[in-house]
Structure 1
Amino acid sequence: MAPLPRRRLELHHPLLRRNESQAGQNRDHFHRHGLRTINLLSAPGSGKTALLEQLAHRWPRPPIGVIVGDLATDNDARRLQRAGARAVQIRTGDLCHLDAALVDQAFSQLDCSGIDLLVIENVGNLVCPAAFDLGEQRRIALLSVTEGEDKPLKYPALFKSADAVVINKIDLAEAVGFDRCIAIANLSAIAPQATLFELSAHTGKGLDVLIRWLDAKAA
């Protein structure tokens, strides 16, 4: 039997084309509402919600809006509502990231009147969320001192896509043996484009510097 002829197929359409299209529409919606929009990414337990609670209290023009992504429960959204934020919850089930369509659905449920800052608290994951544009203006990666210094080396895609990196829980650095110099060297090697902030979401130390950056850069 003669061998089958070989055919070469050119793949012209990116796998994330549908998400990219929706992300563009989201970006237009956010702009029309006058929103500064942040995509906040990190591993579980790094302190995203605690940081947003502080931000809700300290943002110079409250309230802030938050779209919260979790596999299950609405615990984080309720925490943020108690802190004064307008928050809506996305339960993703087995999906390990948010996509632009999910954000669009949640945004339609959010009362944006009087809000100029919208934060999308992504699902706690250092891999999948980095690949999905949600329509944000800025992307922030959060790293806690309890995770160790080598997270940027292990998960470079997330940190390379970030406009800023926040090192959180600095009040625990000495107790957990966190080596600040090594962590900063790793971040400089992987994410030289990112602005670095060091703070404690528990005590609020260092948060004012981040707020000034958000106010200027996300405008």
Structure 2
Amino acid sequence: MCRVVDLQQAVLAKNQDSATALREDLLARGTAVVNLLSSPGSGKTALLEAELTEARRRAIPVAALTADLATENDARRLARSGAPVRQVLTDGLCHLEADMLRAHVDAWLPAPSRLLFVENVGNLVCPASYDLGESLRVVLASVTEGEDKPLKYPTAFGLAQLVIITKQDIAEAVGFDEAAFLANVRQVNPGVEVLHTSARRGEGVGLLLDRALAVRDGDPAHRPVMARQAEHGHTHSHSHGPGHSHGPAHSHGPAHSHGPAHAHGPGHSHEHDDHAHPHDHAGHPHAHTPPSPTAS
């Protein structure tokens, strides 16, 4: 059983080293990565399309990479913004890793791009453990998902540097308890900023772009308590549900320090579901650049 823990930590440690190098390389080129995490159906793609469109309106060079297990639907939608878009098909892998991102950045990312938005695979478990070399980690939650999501997914919300509530226009209709949601966010991530958006009505569009540009230009991103604890090697245990036992709790060594102008990637504290264990996968997932959208 201990070897399972060691393998998991070896995978995460290797990913952290790759993420640190990628973050430094991209920031040296003037590009900051924004990692977007959410459940499926949160409205992440709709908001990202609106943000890319706003960036194009302001003549800000941005690009987007979107990851899914299958289909190129999201890339086609995002391409309507006119921004450069890349689709990554993960062939069943439930998250992106830093080495996967680097392969596509090196081969495709247009220069100059001030921001690269990464729409991670849609779930709040697997992607939460993997730093992608981002300068800003964002977790989105729609008003339809319930107020308890920050408590059910404490690593995803606890490592967020920005939280966005989506579909605000239907909050009253679905009985969304905003006060309860905000209290739950504060419980797992004190001090994190929470934005309210409605892509359908255009409410809050441009706020994510503004926050990302500020971090890219040197403003310090929020440093979650959970990330600071991981950096200091605090001991923690993992809960895997029935049938999984990894023995005693363990601690991680200190994370890398990037200086005041760099946002730290996530710590290594994480939940697991059936897909969260290391995967052996040959090569990199398939990537596609969608065709130019046609006028509708």
Same fold (TM over 0.5): yes
The percent of aligned pairs where both chains have the same amino acid is 45
Q: Distance in 1 between matches of 2:176 and 2:159?
A: 24
Q: Distance in 2 between matches of 1:38 and 1:45?
A: 19
Return the alpha-carbon distance in structure 1 between the equivalents of residues 175 and 113 of structure 2: 40
Q: Distance in 2 between matches of 1:208 and 1:80?
A: 16
| Equivalent in 29, 43, 46 of residue 47 of structure 1 | 43
- The secondary structure found in structure 2 opposite 1:52 is helix
In the TM superposition, what are the counterparts of 1:107-126 in structure 2 within 5 Å?
107-126=105-124
Q: Distance in 1 between matches of 2:117 and 2:168?
A: 22
How far does residue 14 in structure 1 lie from its aligned partner after superposition?
Answer: 3.5
Residue pairs, 1:56-205, within 5 angstroms: 56-59=52-55, 60-205=58-203
Deviations 1:153-192 (A, max 9, x none): 1000001101000000000101111111111111111111
1:78 is matched by which residue type in structure 2?
R
Q: 2:124 and 2:59 mapped to 1: Cα distance? A: 31
- CA drift of 1:94 comes to 1.3
Distance 2:162 2:25 in 1: 23
Q: Which amino acid aligns with 2:115?
A: L
Q: CA deviation at 1:150?
A: 0.6
Structure 2 residue corresponding to 1:32, chosen from 28, 35, 48:
28
Q: Which residue of 2 aligns with 1:217?
A: 215
Aligned amino acid, residue 211 of structure 1: L
Q: CA deviation at 1:207?
A: 2.0
Which whole-Å CA distance do the structure 1 matches of 2:212 and 2:14 have between them?
A: 29
Shift of 1:109: 3.2
Aligned-residue Cα RMSD (Å) equals 1.7
Cα displacement string for residues 116-143 of structure 1 (whole angstroms, at most 9, x for unaligned residues): 1111110001001010011001100001
- The aligned counterpart of 1:3 is none
- 1:5 corresponds to: none
Bigger proportion of residues as strand: 1
Mean Cα deviation higher: 163-172 or 98-107 = 98-107
Q: Distance in 1 between matches of 2:139 and 2:64?
A: 16
Q: TM-score, normalised by structure 1?
A: 0.89
Q: Report the CA distance between 1:74 and its aligned residue.
A: 1.4
Can you give the 5+ residue segments of structure 2 that lack an aligned partner in the other structure? 1-5, 218-296
Shift of 1:198: 0.6
CA shift, 1:89, in A, is 1.1
Q: Which shifted more, 129-138 or 58-67?
A: 58-67
Q: Distance in 2 between matches of 1:35 and 1:207?
A: 21
Matched AA of 1:17: A
Equivalent residue pairs, number: 209
1:17 aligns with 2:49: no
Q: Could you tell which deviates more after superposition, 144-153 or 85-94?
A: 85-94
The residue type equivalent to 1:89 in the other structure is Q
Are the counterparts in 1 of residues 114 and 216 from structure 2 also a CA contact under 8 Å? Answer: no
Q: For the residues of structure 1 that align with 2:109 and 2:207, how far apart are their CA atoms?
A: 28
